[in-house]
Chains A and B, each alone.
Chain A
Amino acid sequence: GESVGLHLPTLSVQEGDNSIINCAYSNSASDYFIWYKQESGKGPQFIIDIRSNMDKRQGQRVTVLLNKTVKHLSLQIAATQPGDSAVYFCAENFGQGGSEKLVFGKGTKLTVNP
């Protein structure tokens, strides 16, 4: 079935610390994953993506890890800043069957304390 979920609905960190946001997915056919950041009153903003043939991808201050064995995705944010405060969503594309849609998780609210 379609199920993309997050282990922690809220995460509070101190400025400068590293943050880890987790996501579990249930569809083993998913082959493409994206992390989005959503600030209040705005649309989802693309952060980083990863294909299923990779297990790690790095961007600027962000790293996405994919563990297909346990169907787990994580987003690591280094040196978290107040501007990182937002809701973070993982999204997956099932791939097989020609589906164009992304299935979004529930979201984790990240709060960065100064």
Chain B
Amino acid sequence: EPEVTQTPSHQVTQMGQEVILRCVPISNHLYFYWYRQILGQKVEFLVSFYNNEISEKSEIFDDQFSVERPDGSNFTLKIRSTKLEDSAMYFCASSENAVLNNSPLHFGNGTRLTVT
């Protein structure tokens, strides 16, 4: 069964450093997302991406965050200057169609980001 893959599984970085989290969505999917989960808390929406542009973003997704689809297979999340509170699990997801059209999201296994 096709799956969303994320790398690395664990990233440790120092406060103020830039990190790039990478994702390979399911190949025939057109909609891409990033969510995060702080330890023991809910899964929170960050951003959705379609047709090479951001379609929706949350209040969490400030100017320190950016997303990119640099080629036909990868989808990346960049945090420009990491803060301690950015420590969380970051999940990439993709869907064949829009959630609005009742298309479920399929998630990767996440990247655990630890900011020290």
CB within 8 Å of B: which residues of A? Answer: 32, 34, 36, 41-46, 49, 51, 89, 91, 93, 95, 98-107
- Counting chain A CB atoms within 10 Å of each CB, the highest count among B48, B50, B58 belongs to B48
Q: Chain B interface residue count: which class? A: 20 to 34
Q: Say how far B9's CB is from chain A's closest CB, in angstroms.
A: 9
- B56's contact among A32, A36, A49, A101, by CB below 8 Å, is which? A101
Closest to B98 in A: A100
Complex contact B104–A34 (CB within 8 A): yes
Q: In B54-108, which residues have CB < 8 Å from any A CB? A: 55-56, 58, 91, 93, 98-100, 102, 104-108
In the complex with contacts A32-B99, A44-B91, A49-B102, A102-B45 CB distance below 8 A: yes
Complex contact B98–A44 (CB within 8 A): no
Complex contact B107–A100 (CB within 8 A): no
6 contacts between A and B (CB under 8 A): A36-B107, A43-B107, A44-B107, A49-B104, A95-B100, A98-B100
A49 to B3, CA, bound (A): 18
Complex contact B109–A42 (CB within 8 A): yes
A107 to B40, CA, bound (A): 9
A52 to B58, CA, bound (A): 24
User: Is B110 an interface residue, CB under 8 A from the partner?
Assistant: yes
| Cβ contacts under 8 Å, B44 to chain A | 104
- A100's contact among B6, B42, B100, by CB below 8 Å, is which? B100
Closest to B101 in A: A32
| Cβ contacts under 8 Å, B48 to chain A | 100-101
| Cβ contacts under 8 Å, A51 to chain B | 102
User: Is B15 an interface residue, CB under 8 A from the partner?
Assistant: no
